Amino acid sequence: MKGNAHSYNSAAEYNPTELLICTASRLMQDNTTAFIGTGIPMLAASLAQRLHAPNLVAIFEFGGTGAILDQLPMAVGEQNTFHRALAASGICDIVETAQRGFIEYGFLGGAQIDPYGNLNSTVIGDYNNPKVRLPGSGGGNDVGSHCWQTIAIIRHDKKRFVERLDFVTTPGYLSGPGARERAGLPPGTGPFRVVTNLAVMGYHPISKRMMLMALQPGITVEDVHSNTAFNLLVADEVEHNPPPTTQELKLLREEVDRDKLYI
């Protein structure tokens, strides 16, 4: 990291969206491939490229590979997703690249998540008579099926962290260990992390159930439990995420999202 990276900030000095972006950004490693969707992942990728991951290979669903994220894209097909990119192809090529095993990380969102990291972005209520019709899978199911490690970014509350989804849009570990492979999904793939405004979760290596790994600044284990409607495992040693640094916030506000479209 360059500059005064270790100057941390108190909660009052950043908002929850900024926290999510900075937390997601820190998960993005240099020289890795990441399937980047609309919204927070775009900002996180742009921030990561400016800090610790200048050669993060951002891959966008509709064809952009290896763009330099100087300007923030507003949609997964727009020009900034292939600005000075190495290749600009189309959705079949990109998702087949993931299907072929070339994309390490995938970022996901959703309206609900369950203990196995399955996600719902289709309907709330009954499928045939929905209470709320959500946008649908979009690329979610594809990312969750093919990328080696998926990272879900989602706001943390009991309506979202549920024991049972109304609809499994995107596969996590499905019903548990071995279920992905039995369904025909590529072996070795699956959920890796869940990033929320309260915490970062991983998955138990054996049971594949969601497990608290790290707390966001000022948050307690109890806060996380009380916002989760299922029995969340807790790692033996729960880490404490440092708050966004001054440099992260400065870059985020002055360069990544200078028009304040998201933050």
Q: What are the residue numbers of the active site?
A: 61
Q: Which of residues 227-256 bind other proteins (CB under 8 A)?
A: none
Q: Is residue 162 involved in binding other proteins (CB under 8 A)?
A: no
Q: Which of residues 32-91 bind other proteins (CB under 8 A)?
A: 32-33, 38-39, 55, 57, 60-66, 68, 74-79, 81-82, 84-91
Question: How far is 196 from 116, CA to CA, in rounded Å?
Answer: 16
Q: Is residue 185 involved in binding other proteins (CB under 8 A)?
A: yes
- The type of residue at 224 is V
Among residues 9 and 122, whose Cβ is nearest to other proteins? 122
Among residues 103 and 213, whose Cβ is nearest to other proteins? 103
Residues near other proteins (CB under 8 A), total = 79
User: CB burial class (10 A; 0-12, 13-18, 19+) of residue 176?
Assistant: middle
Question: How far is 27 from 55, CA to CA, in rounded Å?
Answer: 14
Question: How far is 259 from 223, CA to CA, in rounded Å?
Answer: 33
Q: Is residue 139 involved in binding other proteins (CB under 8 A)?
A: yes
User: Least Å distance between CB 256 and other proteins?
Assistant: 14
User: Least Å distance between CB 50 and other proteins?
Assistant: 17
User: Least Å distance between CB 101 and other proteins?
Assistant: 3
Write b or e for each residue in 236-254: b if 16 or more Cβ atoms lie within 10 A of its Cβ, otherwise e: eebeebebbbbbbbebbee
Indicate if the alpha-carbon torsion angle 103, 121, 213, 164 is positive or negative: negative
